[in-house]
Chains A and B, each alone.
Chain A
């Protein structure tokens, strides 16, 4: 019996090749998209999987208040927490500070710049368990000048030799001994270390006190807790601890509040300004999941509609079988078998699509996919169960329609129209589909507009044709504690600059520490105007630039003059932006000129006021900024403004001059504007995924619509023929065939537009600078969907009009 069912199903498929192909194609595409989305979601939720005790590790976020006003909130926190918390709070087992610094790492024959060095405390490897490959976790980081590095950095420095006990020089030449090797950080971690160096080293050199303090946001604090410690209890204990030491009533209104972040959740839920890397976004993951589900619904609606309509075409077969004694159940089994065959085939094709496309999708959308779940039995059990239930559910309706047809009607062998209740259900499902299409179209366009808006926004500076060179590593190798040493490096740079400017294509050369798109190198929290009352507690940026930086980027100076160099002395002068002007309470730029301002204890004279410009992406507001005139130490950048034409020749010229001047240093260059736009990667990535999914969803929905129109056309062929014989013209035929669908689209638009508006308003509120939604977007999206539908219908109208109505009537 089963064999007969199977054989019959295959013959039906081969008769209805077109519809079967659409059915399987739509299902396969939909399934493939869902599997890919599953991979994406799995990856996003799998962060920190490489840490053995990840459920017990927390980052301690810190918020600082002065007189009840929040002046700071971020990942960095007091430097004393590591020493005091594990002692005072029983359920905290270990704690460590981490301080990220890009460093120069050298051996005798190798030199790597901008290495990701984390300065950590001795218990780091006990907080994060399971990282160490070789070495002793108790002693690896227990003394100054000890260092643990990742397997791949060890290989880069020492090849296949055992790195343990080898010496590595950092920055100006601190001699570190390698005491351990850790796993490479996977892609799914927020904490991408390459080297772990002991913070005791800083104490050893006398740069910091052994004892931490409560008022310095030093670096990120991580703690590991025992299984008995609940998150809430520990957080409360930490806050009580802080109240004991920093009490608003005794310490000038200052107060500290801690928040525990489970490290597993950091990637998707934490979004402070000082994150170690741009994190993911939970709502983005949910939105993409939502779109995935929408696609699945569209696919299944296609399936239901197509199958139901097709089943009506098979009414004769059903009728005959009934007269031969088939029971309703037997007929339904036939139907379920066909549904399963279609779905399973589609699933197999989907699996192939996923296998073939994964690497392309990962690189195109700049995402990572993880299919770890496929190794878990629970996933298979649930997956098969859900798949089975879905298929049963979607095939139940058509199977029901198929078998409930009256035998006498069925056996006439004509294509009978669905009863009105069937027609309503079919139309209801189509409305849902149109809703989804309209929603996705509008949303995709607005997301695209917002990304474009941010990329084309006038930053206040011009980043076009600016080449960023990574300043020579010797900047870092020499030490940076005396101004003399910096002056020597500055002298060398000035020669290099003059050489470049001899080429008339190169417009300007400048140097700075951080470039647009990077965090400020210095954040100041204590700002005081000389001679004016109390200090302002807030967060401002201090950035080091030279006198050519503002002209190179075309920033507009509102009052005062740009820096002038005086080789004989370091002038304590600063240029501030409008936000800083406002913060200091000046009415006009001119008022501020010549005033002196104290930043965390250093006194600066305001030399000029520059119009606000964006150093960070438009998701963030412009911060008050103080620009000070110093040649960059450590890792700075040299900037070159090119002419628009013949970039290649200009680049070659710069490179040749570089190698002549800095023979030992690699030439690393990139464009300033593209670097700046990398900040929008997450947003662009979201936009790209969203757009791609939308196009797919509309494509699949359209496949279904095409098939539906085709089937209803065949159903209505005779009615149309009769009308034509009675004198209906082409327009009337078109109206007859399309008016039903147009009405459905209008209903769908009425439902979809408010939903879309609500969703988009919420999404846009994430941006400090955002577009306004225009009504015309809604209108054009609906028109687009309408036009696509009309095109489908048009195709069949033309087909019908080519037929001779007389012939159709005779045949009937």
Chain B
């Protein structure tokens, strides 16, 4: 088991009413799973992903990540956890515009005190693995959307996380590019990386081993 959510509630108060973003979420992710979260706009998919990624707080419930009770941890400790074990992939890629492909991939390593030669080796490995050695000195604006997302995934993977969180990774891509990215995820999953993706697309969801449907912050089937 990699993580477990137990009775998670998250709400905002709006004009005296309590509006639930997450409503009694219960679910467990085991190592090696590939989970798709689906649901209409505003159903709480991204909020759930952010809670799992520890980018967002929740109001009630228990969250255990690799046997650590996240809900009781201090901010600093939590940051150490996700820095170590989680990689993010975004719909809009979120590459840093001022950095080259190489530097973008290198950035997470900078925050983890790897030596310079280690970093070089790890980034070179990623570039090789994703076949983008030739593009390492280009800036994000010089790449196509698919290529940018490839770099985004490489960046998420470079520090070998246990879990990849992907928020509509193919949302900004055309179908061919999207297909390639999904194939890549599938391959990574086969290599043992646990993946949780939020998606709108039934096709993409089929790559996963399990799909969770959300509606108004509730899990409607599992």
Contact = CB atoms under 8 A, between A and B. Distances in A.
B94 A4 contact: no
Nearest to A3: B116
A511 B97 CA distance: 82
Interface stretch (B28-36, B50-58, B168-176, B205-213): B50-58
A240 to B, nearest CB: 75
A325 B54 CA distance: 12
Contact of B107 (A15, A324, A408): A324
Interface residues of A, number: 22
Contact of A8 (B56, B90, B92, B98): B98
Contacts of B103: 4, 7
B110 interface: yes
B90 A411 contact: yes
B96 A325 contact: no
Interface in A412-430: 413
Contacts of A330: 111
Contacts of B83: 325
A413 B79 contact: no
A327 B56 contact: no
Nearest to A1: B110
A37 to B, nearest CB: 38
A8 B108 contact: no
B112 A15 contact: no
Contact of B111 (A15, A316, A326): A326
Contacts of B50: 408
Contact of A408 (B55, B79, B99, B159): B55
Nearest to B113: A1
Nearest to A14: B98
A327 to B, nearest CB: 7
B133 to A, nearest CB: 20
Contact of A324 (B92, B97, B98, B111): B111
B89 to A, nearest CB: 10
Contacts of A584: none
B151 to A, nearest CB: 12
B110 A4 contact: yes
A320 B98 contact: no
A316 B95 CA distance: 9
A408 B50 CA distance: 8
A323 B92 CA distance: 14
B53 A323 contact: yes
Nearest to B156: A324
A319 B155 CA distance: 15
B55 A413 contact: no
A324 B111 CA distance: 8
Contacts, number: 52
A407 B56 CA distance: 8
B155 A324 contact: yes
Nearest to B103: A4
B98 A413 contact: no
Contacts of A8: 98-99
B94 to A, nearest CB: 5
Nearest to A320: B94
A413 B111 contact: no
A326 B50 CA distance: 17
Interface string A300-322: 00000000000000001101110
B56 A321 contact: no
Nearest to B90: A411
B172 to A, nearest CB: 12
A261 to B, nearest CB: 63
A325 B98 contact: no
A492 interface: no
B190 to A, nearest CB: 25
A323 B88 contact: yes
A15 B79 CA distance: 30
A768 interface: no
Interface string A648-673: 00000000000000000000000000
Nearest to A7: B103
Nearest to A325: B83
A166 interface: no
The SS class assigned to the B binding surface is loop
A739 interface: no
Which of A15, A321, A413 is most buried by chain B, counting CB atoms within 10 A of its CB? Answer: A321
Nearest to A4: B110
B53 A325 contact: no
B110 to A, nearest CB: 6
B20 interface: no
B108 A413 contact: no
Contact of A321 (B55, B107, B112): B107
B82 interface: yes
Nearest to A319: B94
Interface in A758-795: none
B111 A323 contact: no
A4 B99 CA distance: 10
A4 B53 CA distance: 27
Contacts of B155: 324
Contacts of A320: 94-96
Contacts of B92: 413
Contacts of B97: 15, 317
A407 B55 contact: yes
A8 B90 CA distance: 22
Interface in A8-28: 8, 11-12, 15
Nearest to A331: B111
Contacts of A319: 94
A256 B130 CA distance: 99
Contacts of B95: 320
A287 B79 CA distance: 52
A208 B107 CA distance: 91
Contacts of A12: 98
A325 B55 contact: no
Which of B94, B99, B103 neighbours the largest number of chain A CB atoms within 10 Å of its CB? B94
Nearest to A12: B98
Contact of A316 (B53, B79, B94): B94
Interface string A319-360: 111011111001000000000000000000000000000000
Contacts of B53: 323
A413 B110 contact: no
B96 A321 contact: yes
Contacts of A413: 92, 94
Contacts of B98: 8, 11-12, 15, 317
A138 B20 CA distance: 101
Contacts of B55: 323, 407-408, 411
A4 B55 CA distance: 25
A321 B96 CA distance: 8
A459 B3 CA distance: 95
Contacts of A317: 96-98
B96 A327 contact: no
A408 B47 CA distance: 10
Contacts of A326: 111
B9 to A, nearest CB: 18
A8 B103 CA distance: 10
Contacts of B107: 321, 324
Interface string B40-80: 00000000001001011000000000000000000000010
Contacts of A408: 50, 55-56
Contacts of B88: 323-324
Nearest to A413: B92
Contact of A325 (B99, B106, B108): B108
A319 B110 CA distance: 16
B166 to A, nearest CB: 12
Nearest to A412: B92
B185 to A, nearest CB: 18
- What 6 pairs between A and B have smallest CB-CB spacing? A325-B83, A11-B98, A325-B111, A324-B108, A320-B94, A323-B88
6 contacts: A1-B110, A4-B110, A323-B94, A325-B111, A407-B55, A411-B90
Given A317-B97, A317-B98, A325-B112, 12 more contacts: A4-B110, A7-B103, A8-B98, A319-B94, A320-B94, A321-B111, A324-B88, A324-B107, A325-B82, A325-B83, A407-B55, A411-B55
